[in-house]
A and B are shown apart, each in its own frame.
Chain A
């Protein structure tokens, strides 16, 4: 579709959701009362990171007035199977601990009572006897042979280990003129939505069916995981998701074990059960991103071209490698080499289990970890070679004429113009002027002098990253070897489903499968359908609720990996186009003119400039009210469904290559920082980010999404990390000490766009919103390195960490050589 003709798509419409949310009329899970007689659950959780459960005594709890029942591991073991996991190793993960607890906060007992207050009173009276075991903390410690082992039947804490090699990776590491090695650490972070997990479950004994409401948002592969664990057929688990979810950023994907637990509780106590997670539970025991220790060695030629990369990555997936992990290592498989045309790669990937909170989806999902390593490496290489960091990127970027570009690892970059985005970012940030001023300042003030520096130090840094969107359901297959995959059913695709219906009085309704958590999908869907049918967007009712019994959906449904723009919108568009074709076909039959000569305008059918007298309402009405008068090839009613997948997300091949995402955007961040060396405080002076996400469906929403992703990235760069002691206790389990950036911490941000539409989606849109979460850590760390002449290798760059860096290095001695190459801008 041509954008010049668009009336609604690409426009900054205000969100239709805001009206109800601003008035406090949103209906979140805790506002719903879908079942009468619902009781409340509270969960008794492990105080130990690693211990045998010797005995559980629930007698005193059962005596508390108002308690209706208690669920323990014995019940779960009897009624459930372990959740299927995404690796060959035989890890048994249940929603409660059975014989052992493996992380602080792990559920042990569920108490169901008339109210949450009473349930908590009773929970305090549950007595569990533990035999503590040594806690395993830290990936490198977990791999030592003398380390305690979390899962005895696995035998080690390595949940998954895979080696990949592509191209001539080894030779350059011996022969190239420049070999650079570094070690990096990325922290374990959370997503902290304002709304926590919520589950309301009801078991119907007459039909052996569960109906569960939860603020779950996919991927709906997990529906099959839940059904299998509950030992039921998938038709027996009706999962419903409210239209209003208070944020997620990936983290609510892991509500699924709680869904099964509360569903089972409902079955065993014989009444509906509600569980609303509180903040303490959420920070301690919901889910998190993985922390990663990575080692990178790269070889470069004399001109700064990267010849090969060797990456060893250790991801801590927590106490259980639960589905869909180790996706954190493989979501980015196709874009491992980022924006660069690198001819060879060796990857050694470990998913390690330790006695900490299990991991799962989170905004960025592997991207922040990968790009912190890759973009820091490029900066370190730049300085080793005496190149400006922007120059080394230019020399390695994929060129516009190389698109569509197939990466070593199987990624298919659909479109892009990387250098143009870089140029724009450098222009907006006045990069050249900053460098010139920096040069003058360093020459003039004799920064070569040793001794304490007590004036602020400024630096500028960049990151250039490929932002993948629309995950391929098959990418996790590379966690298995090709031989193992050959024995399984293949997996692929990024299917999205949508239905567009018009009722007897012309009311237009759309059902979507993207379970929004605040992204504004209802608004964009209105824009798309309004564009196709030429009606007012607000006249379209969008049903954002999901009901697995009645919605169109498939295993890839949900919102994650920013899939609404590439996949979700495509399904909506396609379904709407089917409705349009049906209406125009019907009109053409009535008017005896070719359908191609007709068009829709303001809800009416036009033949050229002439109003034909037919309207959408009239045509749709005819299909309902008088179906026998329809042409023989037209069915009654108007209800068109589209199940849409992008065909390029195919299964992994035997060489372990997989196109892990459907579409690939690109962004460049340029950040200026000022550091007060006396108190080691970093101030971000300004943050420029230029995005290419293909065609923007709604620039206002895109802007909000980018700011949110940037704030989240700023979090891991400067503030956020989950801190555990040697016994596995979470030390910062409240918002007092787990520091999310607030409005007060946001720097001035300028966002600009370039649109190179994707050739793969009907609207040319790519996903966005995770990009800066992936790039901010590297961009800020690169700026800090530029300011201090010291290389940061771990995040977050809290003042105490920066102080350590300052104490180790000798600030004022320029460790980094001056650029020999002029900056090309």
Chain B
């Protein structure tokens, strides 16, 4: 378990990094936290000719709120907010930041499932998204909340919506020579209910299945807005379309079960020694219903509070 020989290039500026990546002879791979990359190198599952170490690029480690909408227009509305997460932000750093306020709580919860605190000290948000493991929590959350990925190269910068970012197993919209430099995450509005649930065999394990949900209900108790994402079921995290039928309707427990039923009926479930397809199907069914109900309960609790605040 020793890697094959590689060149190690440590850069001090983003331009240097992009130049290295643009040089196809170098065949360089980005080294940030290394928590996924280095084991792959050691097991010789990946044999890049060079590693470009970007850990000194402080400009990629910014973390903070952006008050603007998706069109990039600054807005005074307190409801529309994005979290700007530099690619080099450590998972643990985001976890601690996200604990500070209610709107980022879902991010905090999901992050507590990502590996262990020790790996989160080193692993980066950008690294996790670029790695695109179909069972990983950060890709699931990024997709469920919605947002934008900022990708740069020597040719310039481009933006990719979260819905287009994850393409297949360990495959994203990032092209050779490009690097993910930051992501913008849509923050749920203050009274949006949220829930995250994951099934895994042991503390710190990869998810067998995971689900994230945000749901906004109005004072009339009708669903205004709902997003449900599933991880571990396909080659990328999935956004569930069936929930859209609930918009404009009153929520009820039967709805959660109906959505779960509809979703599991159209999905294929892998059958292997870790879990039979029958068991995965059951887990998915329970997971979807549970997380929808939990998001609704959370929304109710907040709506009452919000209603009180507003009143």
Contact = CB atoms under 8 A, between A and B. Distances in A.
A739 B275 CA distance: 14
B206 A679 contact: no
Contacts of A116: 2
A124 B44 CA distance: 10
Nearest to A680: B279
A745 B273 contact: no
Interface string A732-773: 100011010111110000000000000000000000000000
A742 B2 contact: no
B286 interface: yes
A739 B206 CA distance: 12
Nearest to B201: A739
Nearest to A718: B201
Contact of B204 (A278, A742, A798): A742
Contacts of B168: none
B202 A741 contact: yes
Contacts of A279: 1
Nearest to A804: B276
Nearest to A745: B202
B278 interface: yes
Interface in B282-306: 282-283, 286
A120 B274 CA distance: 31
B202 A800 contact: no
A700 B206 CA distance: 35
A503 interface: no
A800 B275 contact: yes
B7 to A, nearest CB: 14
Contacts of A731: 272-273
Contact of A679 (B3, B44, B203, B286): B286
A678 B286 contact: yes
B199 interface: yes
Is the interface on chain B under 10, 10 to 19, 20 to 34, or 35 or more residues?
20 to 34
Contact of A800 (B1, B4, B203, B279): B279
Contacts of A518: none
B282 A679 contact: yes
B282 A678 contact: yes
Contacts of B275: 799-800
Contact of B273 (A124, A719, A732, A744): A732
A774 B1 CA distance: 33
A419 interface: no
B43 interface: yes
B71 interface: no
B202 A744 contact: yes
Nearest to B2: A117
Is the interface on chain A under 10, 10 to 19, 20 to 34, or 35 or more residues?
20 to 34
Interface string B196-226: 0001011111100000000000000000000
A807 B2 contact: no
A121 B286 contact: no
Interface in B12-45: 43-44
Interface string A270-291: 0000000011100000000000
A130 interface: no
A723 interface: yes
A799 B286 CA distance: 14
A719 B279 contact: no
B308 interface: no
B283 A117 contact: no
A693 to B, nearest CB: 30
A745 B205 CA distance: 12
Contacts of A166: none
A279 B43 CA distance: 10
Q: Which of B1, B199, B278 lies at the interface centre, i.e. has the most chain A CB atoms within 10 A of its CB? A: B1
B5 interface: yes
Contacts of B199: 679
Given A678-B282, A742-B203, A745-B203, A800 B2 contact: no
B276 A800 contact: yes
Contacts of B283: 679
A278 B5 CA distance: 18
B282 A278 contact: no
A100 to B, nearest CB: 26
Nearest to A731: B273
Q: Which of A736, A798, A800, A804 lies at the interface centre, i.e. has the most chain B CB atoms within 10 A of its CB? A: A800
A28 interface: no
Interface in A711-743: 719, 723, 731-732, 736-737, 739, 741-743
Contacts of B279: 680, 799-800, 803-804
A164 B207 CA distance: 48
Contacts of A280: 1, 43
Contact of A736 (B203, B206, B273, B286): B206
A45 to B, nearest CB: 13
Contacts of B43: 280
Contacts of A744: 202-204
A323 B43 CA distance: 31
Nearest to B286: A678
Interface in A425-482: none
Nearest to B203: A744
A719 B275 CA distance: 13
Contacts of B3: 117
Contact of B278 (A736, A798, A807): A807
Interface in B42-78: 43-44
A723 B274 CA distance: 10
A680 B43 CA distance: 34
A678 B260 CA distance: 14
A803 B5 contact: no
A121 B201 contact: no
B27 to A, nearest CB: 17
Contact of A120 (B2, B201, B202): B2
A127 to B, nearest CB: 17
A739 B202 contact: yes
A229 to B, nearest CB: 28
Interface string A114-144: 0011001100100000000000000000000
A228 to B, nearest CB: 33
Contact of B282 (A120, A121, A803): A803
Interface string A621-650: 000000000000000000000000000000
Nearest to B273: A723
Interface string A572-616: 000000000000000000000000000000000000000000000
Contacts of B274: 737, 798, 800
Contacts of A739: 201-202, 205
A315 B100 CA distance: 57
Nearest to A681: B199
24 contacts: A117-B5, A120-B2, A121-B5, A124-B44, A279-B1, A280-B43, A678-B282, A678-B286, A679-B282, A679-B283, A679-B286, A719-B202, A723-B273, A731-B272, A731-B273, A739-B202, A739-B205, A741-B202, A744-B202, A745-B203, A798-B201, A799-B201, A803-B282, A804-B278
Given A117-B2, A731-B273, A744-B202, 7 more contacts: A117-B4, A120-B2, A124-B44, A719-B201, A732-B273, A739-B202, A744-B203
Closest 3 CB pairs of A and B: A744-B203, A278-B1, A803-B279
